[in-house]
Structure 1
Amino acid sequence: MAGRVAGKVALITGAARGQGRADAVRLAQEGADVIVVDIAATLPSVTYASPTPADLDETVSLVEKTGRRAVRVQADVRDLAALRAGVDAGVAELGGLDIVVANAGICVPAPWDDVTEEIFDDTIGVNVRGVWNTVMAGAPHLIQRGGGSIILISSAAGMKVQPFLVPYTTSKWAVRGMAKAFATELARHDIRVNSVHPTGVNTGMTGEGLQAAFAKGFERDPKLAGMLTNLLPVAITEPEDVADMVLFLASDESKYVTAHELAPDAGVTEF
C-alpha cells in the first residue's frame, strides 16, 4: 500500500537524526510533507554527541529526495514561544497540519545517587515539558484542520520500570499519562492521541556511553541486568522499525485507535 498519508502534513520534533529522522523520511515516503524540528545543539547534561545543524539539513535533504517538501525549524522544544513560531511558519508554508510526532527526548543513565539536578531538570524539561509544548503548538492547527493524529514517543521505560534511569523513567511515564489526558479532551475535535513505547533503538542515544553507564550500574547491582532483556532474540531495534508504528498511527488505518500505548518493544516489558 502506498500513499498512506498522502496529502497530509506532519510535525516531527527531534528530527535531526535517529528516530525523528526515520519518522520524517517514512512519512514522506508515504506522501506527507513535514516540518522537522530540532535544537541541533548541545545540552550540558547529555554525555553522547548532540545533533548539529548539518544533521537537520541532512534530514531535510532526505525528505526532499522522496519528492515531498520539508520545512526546517531549529528550536529548543522547551521554549514554547520559539517552537510555536516555527510551527506556525511551517504550517503557513505547507498549508495545514494533520500529524504531530513529539519525538524529541534525551536519556542520561546513572545510578540514582549520581543523578545531578542538571540531569534531572534537563530530562524533565525536554522529555515532559517539550512534549507538552509540542502538543500545545500543534494541536490548534489540527483542530483547525478538523482532526488528526498526535503521537507521543515514550519508551518501554514508560510501561515498565528500568534501572539507572530515574529521570528518564519518570519522564516517560509522564508522557504515557499525558497522551491519555490529551486524548480525553481532544477527542471531540476528532483528534487521536497515542503513545509509542520502543525498546532500545539503534541511535546516537544508545551508543557506547549508555552501555558503559549501564555496565557501571550492573557492577554495583548485578541482579538488575535482566530487566533490560528483550523477549524476542534481538538486542536492539532500528529507527525504521519504530517509524513503521508511527506511520500506522498517523494513517487512517488507526482511525479508531486513541488513548492507547503501542509497544514495538520486542517483549522487553514482559520480563
Structure 2
Amino acid sequence: MQTKECVAVLTGAGSGIGRALASALAQSGCHLALADVNAVALAETAAQVRALGVRVSEHTLDVADRSAVAALPDAVIAAHGQVDLLINNAGVALGGTFDQVSVENFDWLMRINFDAVVTMCRAFLPLLRQRPEARIVNLSSLFGLITPAGQTAYCASKFAVRGFSNALRLELNDSNVGVTVVHPGGVATAIATSARPAEGSSEAGQARKLARAKRLLRMPPARAAEIILRGIERNKSRVIVGNDALILSWLERLMPVSYWRLLPGLASNND
C-alpha cells in the first residue's frame, strides 16, 4: 500500500507511538486526521506534522464515547474528502491482579482498548470500502501474545483486539480492505507511568513495578513507527515490533503452557 496522498485516521495521536506514527506517515506524504482525548497534546502533534507539508485535521475525541466516534467520519470527510487508512492506536494500561481490579476499572480499560476498536472499525469501514485500496491497522500488544500475571485486564483487551482483527481480516479477504494487527514489545512510551494503579497496592510495590516496566520499555517510538509503517506498506497481516516481542512470541508458540518457567521475573506478580 502506498501511503503518499492517502488519508489516515489515527487515534491516540497525542503521544508515544501515535505521535511517532503521525510523523512517519507525514514524511511519507500521507494526510492525517489526528484524534486524541488530550487536546493540548493533539495540537502539539498536529503542529509538528503540518511542518512536513501535509494536510492535517485535529479531532479531540474520547474513543470510548460511541456517539462521538459515530460523528467522526463526517468530520473527517469534511476535512479530507476520503479515508484510506484507519489506525486504532489509542490505549490505556491498568495494573493489578484480577482480585485487585475493580469492575469499574476493568470495564474502563475494555471500553478504550477493545470496544473502541470495534466502534471505530464499524464507523469507518463504509468509507474504507469506497477506496481502491484501504487498510485497517489495530494495535494489540506483546500482551496480546503472552499473558503475564498482574495483567488480566490488559491481556484480555489485547487478545480481544488480536482475535477481532484476525477474524475481520478473513471476512474482508475478498474486498479492497486489508487488516493488520500490530504487537509492539517494549516501546519507550508513557503507558507505564500513566497506567492506573491496582486497588490496594502499596506505594512501594507500585514503585518497584514501575521501575521494572521502565527497564523493559527500550525501543524509541520513532523506530516502532518505522516498523509499523513498513508493515502497512507491505500489506502485512501481522507486525511484531521489537526483538523482545519476536522472541517471546516464538517461545509462546513452542511452549504455550510452560513458557513462563523460563521467565520468572516477568511472570512474577510480587510487589
Q: Same fold (TM over 0.5)?
A: yes
Query: Within 1, Cα distance between the matches of 2:155 and 2:217?
Result: 20
Counterpart amino acid of 1:28? A
Inter-partner Cα distance in structure 2 for 1:145 and 1:128: 25
DSSP 3-state at the match of 1:59: helix
Q: Tell me what 2:158 maps to.
A: 172
User: Structure 2 residue aligned with 1:97, among 59, 65, 83?
Assistant: 83
Deviations 1:7-47 (A, max 9, x none): 1110101111111111111101110001111122xxxxxxx
Q: Contact 2:94 / 2:197 at 8 angstroms: preserved in 1?
A: no
CA distance in 2, matches of 1:133, 1:170: 17
Structure 2 distance, partners of 1:149, 1:79, is 23
- Give the counterpart letter for 1:29 in structure 2: Q
The answer to whether 1:247 aligns with 2:229 is yes
Does residue 109 (structure 1) correspond to residue 95 (structure 2)? The answer is: yes
Residue 183 of structure 1: how far off its partner (Å): 0.6
Instruction: Give me the whole-angstrom Cα distance separating, in 2, the residues matched to 1:62 and 1:218.
Output: 33
Offset at 1:217? 7.5
Unmatched 5+ stretches in structure 2: 252-262, 264-271
| Larger mean Cα displacement after TM superposition, 58-67 or 108-117 | 108-117
Q: Distance in 1 between matches of 2:37 and 2:176?
A: 30
1:84, CA displacement in angstroms?
2.8
Q: Aligned equivalents of 1:110 and 1:7: distance in 2? A: 43
Q: What's the TM-score once normalised by structure 2's chain length?
A: 0.81
Give the corresponding residue for 2:187. Answer: 201
AA partner of residue 243 (structure 2):
A
Equivalent position SS for 1:34: strand
Partner SS, residue 56 of structure 1: helix
Matched ranges for 1:250-261 at <5 A: 250-251=232-233, 254-255=234-235, 257-258=236-237, 260=238
Cα shift at 1:235:
5.0
User: What secondary structure, in the 3-state scheme, does the structure 2 residue paired with 1:87 have?
Assistant: helix
What is the one-letter code of the residue matched to 1:216? G
1:240 CA drift (Å)? 1.3
Provide the identity percentage: 30
Tell me how far apart the structure 2 counterparts of residues 239 and 204 of structure 1 sit (CA, whole Å). 11
Assess if the C-alpha contact under 8 Å between 1:111 and 1:217 holds in 2.
no
- Asked if 2 retains the 8 angstrom alpha-carbon contact of 1:36 and 1:70, the reply is yes
- The C-alpha deviation readout for 1:228-267, integer Å capped at 9, x for no partner, is 899xxx752121122112212332xx13x33x3x211322
Paired residues of 2:187 and 2:217 also in contact (CA < 8 A): no
User: Which residue matches 2:42?
Assistant: 56
Counterpart contact for 1:151–1:246, Cα < 8 Å: no
From 107, 122, 133, give the equivalent of 2:108. Answer: 122
- Match of residue 154 from structure 1: 140
Q: CA RMSD in A?
A: 2.9
* Paired residue secondary structure (2:243): coil
Partner of 1:18: 16
**CA 1:218/1:157 → structure 2, altered by over 3 Å: closer, same or farther?**
farther
**CA distance 1:168–1:59, shift in 2 (3 Å):** same
Query: After the TM superposition, which parts of structure 1 deviate over 3 Å for at least 4 consecutive aligned residues?
Result: 208-215
Quote the Cα distance in structure 2 between the aligned partners of 1:249 and 1:96.
22
Per mean C-alpha deviation after superposition, the further-off stretch among 78-87 and 24-33 is 78-87
Structure 1 residues 208 and 188, CA gap change in structure 2 (3 angstroms): closer
CA distance in 2, matches of 1:208, 1:75: 18
Distance, in Å, in 2 between the alignment partners of 1:208 and 1:125 is 17
Q: CA separation in 2, counterparts of 1:74 and 1:139? A: 21
